[in-house]
A and B are shown apart, each in its own frame.
Chain A
């Protein structure tokens, strides 16, 4: 009993301390950096808020630390939607200095919330103009990728089965009935991208008709990419029964690199005429403690070292001129020039209505 009481006392103290700390104003770390009156300790870490798919090689991050003196500390609260919300909720006192991974479907919302401070990265000149979508430089483009319809190559073209599909319209053809699995546009980022793809290709007046036909043809909707790809897709390792899935243009690369036992050619193909372009951006967060570190990190993300590492870490395309992804990536990635896109501002204005309409039409 004595011990129990000591423990409770310790807790009471902890709680009291917590309560005091929280109401006791800002901690020392939030004093303005470089203020002449205080001797601010040199900030040696830079905090990066990002989504849970972020990955980089250890030696690449070590190189950043070597070159700039900053150690990268990651904050990964969940998927891109969670991350953007976290940044918006903590607009005035951000949990990190920089953010990486806001994509074109969330971009305008993030910009409108004012979570970024403008920064013109010196490396921006080597990024194609089409990707520099924010004229005020609040975000810097870092990578792009494509969400496409993927097929299991070995499934088609034998035993009386049709050849592999090649277009969006093929998916509504009765020969491909009950063969397609897609993700929920309301809960999954590739699901939303595919909805946007159908809107981009079929127009604002035509996409609902397309989805009606798709539903008629037995399309299956899963709530997330993992279930769709790993469980329901025939080539996904879970032994599913649908050979057509919505996934990424880099899937043939992932299929070869992640094959077990090892294979040299991918089992999956990409329907190049069904791709929607996704871009990811980084920015310095408003109110960052370590602004210099955040800027250095964004600069670093545009260097060859980081850009060449991304493809096999996150399966996204480098965007700076002269970047050289590993051979296996260059060999198998499908990055069609004709991938469609929609202006981020339009997406922002209409996404909720589109998602609601899609939900009522397809899953209810």
Chain B
């Protein structure tokens, strides 16, 4: 039930256009015995069906700007391979600290950002 609620809340947040993972991953770290990598892996795999559902809606409403997408994905594929390799081979408590630093930047950005 706890897990369902974490998913539900992060889904609401991400549906509003704020990153769901920034809520889900810390929730899993603080309230379950999962490691940083396991929490991140869950966020990645959970994102797939949720993103598919959202994409269908956006595709029908023609909200996707396709002309930029292919080049960004090309660079992204290499980045994703490198970033994931580093993550799965890193010490969990170090990864947690780096994640925290990244999260700190996101939080500051949300506060100072203009609408």
User: Real complex partners, A and B?
Assistant: no
